[in-house]
Structure 1
Amino acid sequence: MNKRVGNQTVRLESKPRIISTATIVGPKEGEGPLRDYFDTILQDDLNGEDSYEKAEKSLLYSVITAAIKKANLKEQDINYLFSGDLLNQIISSNYAARDVDIPFIGLYGACSTMAESLGLASMIVDGGFANHAVASTSSHFSSAERQFRAPLEMGSQRPPCAQWTVTGSGAAVVGTEGNFPYVTYVTNGKVKDYGIKDANNMGAAMAPAAVDTIKQHFMDTGRTPDDYDLIATGDLGKIGRKITAELIKDYGYNMDNIYIDCGEEIYDAEKQGVNAGGSGCGCSAVVACGYIYKNLLSGNIKKALLISTGALMSPTASYQGESIPGIAHAVAIEFGGDKNE
């Protein structure tokens, strides 16, 4: 059976279940408005480690093992681990995978990695190639800042359009059975680049990719914003969210009443001094595995569309004067039938 729908979407007929999730965030995220939806809130950004990079690896390992335990499974029950992060050669994922006994597929989708990993895990379960798969990702403010921008010790000024990389990690276990939220569609995006070169203006760089993927999802599936209770982009922040909300109207879609951005929701921007909001792989990971998943379980949300967004840049490319390509992947997650029934 051909499961492709339109140009970029697949329909998952078996409805792979998200049977558990786990989240962990740093102290700053734990002070934000979504604090009650996170499983673990750290008291120390280093999490007992001697570097921020090692701390990030520990966060990722923690959520992977916690999600498996919450699903009442063992590592040997997991057929694939899909994971990626922001650090060079995805070292957080590589070293977390070293400490678990699971076949590993490393990904680099920048901040789009949660939807990318969840989509791939769901597709491989739907295809009958796995009984269980884990989708995960992580980011850390301090490790990302010194890799992509400037040493923390410099105390660099941040422009109003800058975003704060989320210290956090999320993981989801996807399986074939149980009464849990399930994935129905996966729309993989294309790389879009509109010439933005400012590494502090990530929302503007990624918004065109978000718009393109959302538009394509609607065109491929025949759905509209009215079919969803919630549409959430990954980490565009308040600037990128406004751009996306306006640009999508050019295609005839109005999402204003149901559209949020994870980067805008995770912090109180004024009180916490995060400028345009949150960013990082961990941003959509902890919001999706925490806030969105728990609201699906409770019945407050029946149909959600998660679009994780990523800037496919590197310091090497930036030093060479390259612009910032963007990517966005979409996953439709549902629980409880038609919201209009």
Structure 2
Amino acid sequence: MSQQGGKPLRIAIAGAGAIGCFCGGLWAAAGHSVSLLGRSRVLRPVAQRGLLLSDYAGLQQRVEPQQLRCSEDPAVLAEADLVVVAVKSSGTAAMGQLIAQYGRPDAPVLSFQNAMTNAQMLSQMLPGRDVRAAMVPFNVVPAETSEGAPPGYHRASSGDIMIAAGGGHWGRLLSVPGLPVVETSNITGVQWGKLLINLNNALNALSGIPLMTQLQSRHWRQLMADQMAEALRVMRAAGLRPVSTTPLPVWMSPHILRLPNWAFTRIAAQMLTIDPTARSSMAQDLMQGRITEVDALQGEVQRLGLAHGVPTPICDVIILLIRQAEMKKAGLPKMQPGQI
């Protein structure tokens, strides 16, 4: 077990949803002291029955309720050696205020969030504290369990968590079975690379089909490639250098996506593993009638494009379609690529 000074880490998950429960559960299973701060509807069944964690590679981990502390009281932040922020982008400011009020000034804060601005916002709200961005490459979805069983969370795709390098060796300390964590000296480039991949979250939500099915369709991949190429043009104009989260350089990704099915399948199988039933987090949001993070993804590209005089017609349309789906609250639109 990874320890600090021979003792288990005290980790607070600030905003325990799917990612927070999955990571927090694995840390607790490895012997760390984990507090889940979140909403009652999510945490009540966890407090009563624990967690069942699984993944695409066959992981099956049960976490007993006594191994976790579930709370709606932000005072749990005061006891943490490390705070992991896992709220949606819309909740960053409110969580930053709670950490400023309750968190220990010497406790590092890691942003396990999508988009580019969350760690920056937390740094501004928590001056003098060790605030670091992180990149979580995989998605986690609620898993069906039998009546009376613990709630389940399933990791549906591959990849290692990356955090900004710094003091404390947090990558080594947080790496536990089933959850590798590595440090990088270029977390900004890694985040921009992840944003390119995350742009497909909206397309997957609009499609209404699993990610694997979407990737098997050359028509959907061509739209994904066009959207990524648009974002890369904007990033080049802004002087940004995204770092690939796969073995291939980012500029090759649109070309790979446009390949015939047989060639794409052969290359993709070497880079990424996805559960056949996996859907994007944005698809999950629309299915549950929640506001999405499209403004932090396509919206980021749109804002950069406006600032540097680069048109973003694909992102513009996708933002509009996602906003319409949010307003309708009718679930997934189940659109075809030609409709977009």
TM-score when normalising by structure 2: 0.34
Which has a greater percent of helix? 2
* Structure number with higher strand proportion: 1
Max radius of gyration: which structure? Answer: 2
- Output the TM-score relative to the length of structure 1: 0.34
